[in-house]
Amino acid sequence: MRVGVEVGGTFTDLVAIDGETVTVAKVASTPARPDEGALAALEAATILLGGVEDLVHGSTVATNAILERKGAPTAFVTTAGFRDILALQRHSRRSIYDLAYAKPEPVVRRRDCHEIEERMGPDGAVVAALDIAAAEARLRAILDGGDYRAVAVCLLNAYANPAHEMQLAELLAKIDPGLSVTCSHDVTREFREYERASTTTLAAYVQPVIDSYLSRFEASLGERAFAGRFSVMQSNGGRLPAAAMGRNAITSLFSGPAAGVIGAVRQAGLSGYRDLITLDMGGTSTDVCLVADGQPAISGETEVDGLPIRTPVLDIVTVGAGGGSIIWVDDGGMLRAGPRSAGADPGPACYGKGGTQATVTDAHLTRGTIRAEARLGGHMTLDAAAAEASLGPLAERFERGREEIAADAIRVADANIVRAIQLVSTERGRDPRDYALVPFGGAGPLHAAAVAAELDIATVVVPPNAGVLSAYGLLASDYVTYETRTRRIMVDGDAADQVRAVFQELGQAADDRFAALGVTGDVDYSHTLEMRYVGQAFEVPVPLTAADLDALDEASLLAHFDTAHHRVFEFGGSGGLARAEIVSFRLGSAVSPGTLPALREAAQGGTATEVEIFDAGARTTAALWLRAALPRGEWLDGPLLVEDVTSTILVPAGWRARVDECDNLVMQKGT
């Protein structure tokens, strides 16, 4: 049996797959001790851990440690002259008219930032040597001066030559073997000191928290006779054996949204859909990600609480549009939805917990696309009258009926989601019409058809159990590592050989890493160069297939770069002036954990009933189906409302739907 357990902020989801049998559970999370929620989910699903050969876990432990500033007391050590780089940041502001602007607050205070005499050059040559004896004395003084459990070491230009960082790590291990030490070259080997120092510091800060969390969880599993593989999900969409988290826990940040994307990729892939835009809409926000040929887009950077992290992650864009998004009118008279959310408490007006402001969920209830009887993940019934009343003032203001204003508000929320999708598609040179939309999360399947229509997307694929898709993504994920290096290479006659040599070196590093972790199997490599015209500061990712790499020469390298550059900038380019250069290398390595299980849904008897909804500007009758009861393989014309325990699917008039042989519900425009 294979099990995925995903601990989210509100709910802990579980998917267990044993052959054809799929078990799903959803329990309340226990934020103070997230592992207890995970164990409760295992119990709720009556899973005997002795029979589980593969357990994959995702949690918000790392994210929460940072957001709540509950990481380990950490010292930051850097090159002399630069102790303030975490505070100085990039000198710019994110909000240009905010006079009371405050920078994102680093997790390490100024008193805990320290300097060591040394300097590397950008070519890796030593500019100022590291005096070992002096460094040891200095480190001893630093450690005596604070009650540190972790040390982050980030030296200037260490991406080019990590020798001094390694020497400091050895010294620290000698002085205090119990200390958790994180060096920048182990976390990211790319230039730009602030971003690398920030990444290193965040990694050091969460490391002891993750270590103790995972060891406690593993001990609990051991007590319950678990003897299978235990893996942890990463933000890059892959898993690693839990032991790997002992070195670089920062990769476990934001694993939940990444797991959702992987779940969508695998499940839609079973039906043959490989070019996707995923749409994960929950209570407060919507995450979207573009997937080309089964590969989710990767970004080299992300941030948490405004603090940058340089490590490959799934390129997920988040907007503040969810079921709880508040509908309001700004002081210029424009109708808005979000980004403020009513959250879970008081929640939408229809929750009856004292909320009076209308939310997107209230709008759905009012126009009939969520039924008061449907139990939204939780187990409460909804107050339709309260929902309608909350829309009253808005309806008056715009002289619209309540159902009309509800539909308007939903369109505004949809527009926010459309913007997010344009960010990951058109703005990156991808045409959304070439993709299928895969909605999940509690609210995704309700909005998908309208969003698809706005973008001229012809096909929507709704996976079964769309509300627990990320837990499925966990157990469907590969083992994945990324190796990155900044190494500047001018594109000339020798460049192709150098590229192959660097990838060879990175491949060896990845193989060694897998071997050390006991991961075996065929490795699937993905090669990406970060390139730019000489003089530019931002790089364009240039993906190369294994065949591209074998055949690479100066001309084809330039052609690959021009294609990638043109895709993003269209009109840009050097005008034949500038030379091109490679700045960084990224090698992704993936090993499949075995055959891919499917997320099925057991068929169930039943027929349609009728329900009134407000669709396309008029009240109309829709067929209401229980998802498990939908006839397999048969096209049904909208309007349809399809419910399962975790979400509601809306198939509007002018669309049709069919459950395929993989239990995916496929919607298409036109009847």
Partner 1 sequence: MESMRVDPVDQAVISQALVAAAREMGVKLVRSAYSPVVREANDCAAALLDRHGNVIAQAELIPMQLGPIGTTFRPCAEVVPPEELVEGDFYINNDPYQGGQHLQDVFLFSPIFHEGVLVGFGATVAHHLDLGGGAPGLNPEASDVHQEGIIFPPSRYNLARDWNGGPLERLVRANIRVPEETIGDFNAQFAANGMGAKRVEELCRRFGAETVMAAMDNLLDYSERRMRQSVREAPDGVYWGEDALDDDGVGDTPLPVRARVEIRGEDVFVDFEGTAGQVKTNINCPYASTIAAALSCVKSVLTSPDIPFNEGSKRPVHVSAPHGSLLNPKAPAPVRARMLSAYRAFNAVMKALASAVPEKVIAAGFDTTEVACLSQLGPDGYRIYLEILGGGYGASAGGDGCDAVDSPLSNCSNVPIEAMDMEYPFFRLEEYSLREGSGGGGRHRGGMGFCRKYRVLADDVEFATYSDRFRIAPEGLFGGEPGETARTYVERAGEVVELASKQSFKLKRDDLLVLLTGGGAGYGPADERGETDRARDSEDGIVMQAAE
Binding mask 412-431 for partner 1 (x = CB under 8 A): x--xx-xx--x----x----
CB 359 within 8 Å of CB 368: no
Which residues, including other chains, have CB under 8 Å from residue 256's CB and lie 6 or more apart? 6, 8, 58, 60, 233, 470
- Residue closer to partner 1 by CB (options 96, 547) is 96
Both tokens assigned to 350? 């229809």
CB 419 within 8 Å of CB 318: no
- Applying CB under 8 A, does 345 fall inside the site for partner 1? no
- Conformation bin of residue 292: beta by default, left when phi > 0, alpha when psi is -120 to 50: beta
- Applying CB under 8 A, does 78 fall inside the site for partner 1? no
- Residue closer to partner 1 by CB (options 194, 217) is 194
Of the candidates 521, 573, 594, 606, which one interacts with partner 1 according to CB under 8 A?
573
Residues 366-405 close enough to bind partner 1 by CB under 8 A: 398
Of the candidates 19, 32, 102, 147, which one interacts with partner 1 according to CB under 8 A?
102
- Applying CB under 8 A, does 433 fall inside the site for partner 1? no
Of the candidates 46, 97, 379, 547, which one interacts with partner 1 according to CB under 8 A?
97
- Residue closer to partner 1 by CB (options 97, 670) is 97
Stretch that binds partner 1, among 46-54, 88-96, 514-522, 555-563 (CB under 8 A): 88-96
- H/E stretch holding 139 reads helix 132-144
Rg of the chain, C-alpha, whole Å:
26
Alpha-carbon distances, residue 229 vs 232, 592, 597 (angstroms) = 10, 14, 16
Whole-number Å distance between alpha carbons of 526 and 193: 26
- Residue closer to partner 1 by CB (options 67, 127) is 127
Both tokens assigned to 590? 């993936």
Alpha-carbon distances, residue 419 vs 412, 424, 553 (angstroms) = 11, 9, 39
Q: Is the dihedral of CA 72, 78, 81, 85 positive or negative?
A: negative
- Applying CB under 8 A, does 95 fall inside the site for partner 1? yes
Stretch that binds partner 1, among 210-218, 351-359, 534-542, 553-561 (CB under 8 A): 534-542
Of the candidates 40, 103, 269, 340, which one interacts with partner 1 according to CB under 8 A?
103
Of the candidates 33, 101, 356, 635, which one interacts with partner 1 according to CB under 8 A?
101
- Binding residues for partner 1, rule CB under 8 A, total 66
Residues 23-62 close enough to bind partner 1 by CB under 8 A: none
- Applying CB under 8 A, does 157 fall inside the site for partner 1? yes
Which residues, including other chains, have CB under 8 Å from residue 552's CB and lie 6 or more apart? 496, 499, 500, 544
- H/E stretch holding 216 reads helix 193-223
Residues 454-513 close enough to bind partner 1 by CB under 8 A: 488
Whole-number Å distance between alpha carbons of 442 and 456: 23
Of the candidates 35, 193, 478, 601, which one interacts with partner 1 according to CB under 8 A?
193
Q: Tell me the closest approach of the beta carbon of residue 432 to partner 1, in angstroms.
A: 12
Pairing of β 150-153 and β 74-79: parallel
Residues of this chain that interact with partner 1 (CB under 8 A) are: 81-85, 87-88, 90-93, 95-103, 109-111, 121-122, 127, 156-157, 159, 191-194, 330-336, 398, 408, 411-412, 415-416, 418-419, 422, 427, 488, 533, 535-538, 568-575, 577-578
